[in-house]
Amino acid sequence: MFFIHGGSYKTNGGRFYPGEWLASAGEVIVVTVNYRLGVLGFLSTEDATARGNYGLLDQILALKWVKDNIAAFGGNSSDVTIFGNSAGGACVGLHLVSPMSRGLFSKAIAQSGSPIGEWAVQRRPGMYVKRLAKKLKCPDVDDSETILKCLRKIDPEEIIDKSEDAKTLEDSLMLQFAPVVDGEFLLKHPTTMLQQEGSLSPLPVMVGVTRDELEDCLILAYQDKDPASIFFTKDLLRKYLLHLVRKDFMSGIAADVLLHAVYTEYVYRHGTTSHHKKRRQQQHKMSNGTIPYYENNSSVLPDIRTLGKIISDIDLKAPSVKLVNLLTLHPSVSVYMYEFDYASTDDVIANKYLGAKNAWVGSYHESELYYIFGFPHMNLSNALRLSEDQEVSNIMIQLWTDFAKHGNPTPRKINEENVVKNFTWRQYTEEEDCFATLGLQPFIARSYESERMTFWNHFVPLFTEYPILISSNHTKAIPLEECKITYAISFAGWILAIVFFVVLLQLCSCRMFKNFNVIGKIPIPV
């Protein structure tokens, strides 16, 4: 089992994930690796001068080493499972479609990270290289060789220190130095490659998320505040949305439409109790004529949980669901999906930073790794120690190692050692979108968060496919007939999009699904 750590492509390391308990309890060989990170691992000038993806090439080299040498450790070089979390999960997805990774592994697990998330692949790497060069007082030129020659003369530590400064406030939710389409490791964008027939080798793939995902970021950002007291203005939410859903393809009008749609989906329809109370008050005032309709949402603000749910859905959950749906297009790929749904009452991180308020932490981003690597069984200061924690750890280890051994996470041991009782993990297919909810007692459910996933994976993409063509700074007159045709097409597209979305929501509402409370990652409070 070959583990690729996460950390936004810029931090973390293999040494933080001791594999001895997983190896011993699961009877597998565990390999954890390091790879180049940040600007040194993913700087790209978008040409042959610096193609980028150096961190991914390090992973390739490590996989080749495993293939050549793992037999000396009692391993099977033809039976390698790659698994990773967060950015490591996205790396797993990138290896699935990379021609350079073919034949180096036979199974894959992408945990809380998808290669088709907007953050996973950098679409404008050259822009960040120029910003970094400017910070380091390199020549302000378009020539890549000149810029790179200057950067090579600067102390690496200074480059690393300044690399974060290259990120503007507006891009604060994106990753500036990340994998790129380089024509070698990655031939095309992962979404395009996943849609191509024959782009994947026949293999089993597991994809999953945690219930509350990016919670750990909020622990650090708001440890001294009551989450129920933190609200965000519509303008701030609009700003977040623009930088999470490819703002360069969205006009101001489209952004306003998206903002209203998100408000409707997350605040009015699925918001917190305080949201519903305010909404009822507003509706009562409108019915009495106390306030006009155009002010009907002025005081209903998204709180920190709602914003967290939005960001988690955009960054991790919707891309993961889209990934499993694209994988099902390949008959030779067997797909398994999960949601980790367990939260310990003895969570050291929650207790340390939140104290009595730790009940809202939930199953946060990367929390499943503590159980997979057996932390509850280890003599560590930050280990979870409850008997329930140890039981969940045993369950996760058995599921993960059974998948690594057999390509199917359904437990194989039929004796007293089988810690998972009466559980069959069904595949995720086009006909049956099954997923496993993992905790003290795993079970199978259907249609993961169907309404919200439909919103992001089917409705929101229409904003780029059918853009609203309105601009206030045209310098060239457009022929009247051309305007009529253009706006007719755009308007018709939006009408179809809205109808399509309403129909999908109606269909989804008829299906059983579970509501999950999600917390998000470091926003900027008003």
Amino acid at 243: H
Instruction: Tokens for 229, please give them.
Output: 């007291």
Catalytic residue among 46, 163, 213, 312: 213
- What are the angstrom distances between the C-alpha of 287 and each of 185, 281, 293, 301, 465? 60, 10, 9, 21, 38
Query: How many residues does this entry show for the chain?
Result: 526
Residue with tokens 């080299």: 61
* Cβ proximity of 104 and 33 under 8 Å: no
Q: Which helix (H) or strand (E) holds 305?
A: helix 304-312
Closest CA to 97 of 53, 135, 65: 53
Does 465 qualify as catalytic in the annotation? no
Catalytic residue among 86, 98, 101, 450: 86
> Taking a C-beta distance cutoff of 8 angstroms, is the pair 413, 315 a contact?
no
Alpha carbon distance, N-terminus to C-terminus of the chain: 45
Distance, in Å, from the CA atom of 431 to the CA atom of 336, rounded to the nearest integer, reads 14
Residues 468 and 250: their CA atoms lie apart, in Å, by 8
Token output for 286 = 């409108």
Alpha-carbon distances of 98 from 57, 183, 381, rounded to whole Å: 11, 10, 40
Tokens 């040194």 locate to 40
332 classed as catalytic: no
Among 456, 490, 458, CA closest to 471: 490
Q: What DSSP line would sit under 192-236, residue for residue?
A: HHHTSTT-S-S-EEEEEEESSBTHHHHHHHSTTS-GGG-B--HHH
Tell which residue, 338, 525, 300, 297, has the closest CA to residue 423: 338
The two structure tokens encoding residue 247: 């703002």
> How far, in Å, CA of 186 to CA of 408, rounded?
28
Burial class (CB in 10 A: 0-12, 13-18, 19+), 295: exposed
- Beta strands of 99-217 (E only): which ranges? 107-111, 204-210
Q: How far apart are CA 312 and CA 520, in angstroms?
A: 5
Contacts with 454 (C-beta within 8 Å, 6 or more apart), sequence order: 501, 504, 505, 508
What is the 8-class DSSP label of residue 342?
-
Positions marked active-site: 86, 213
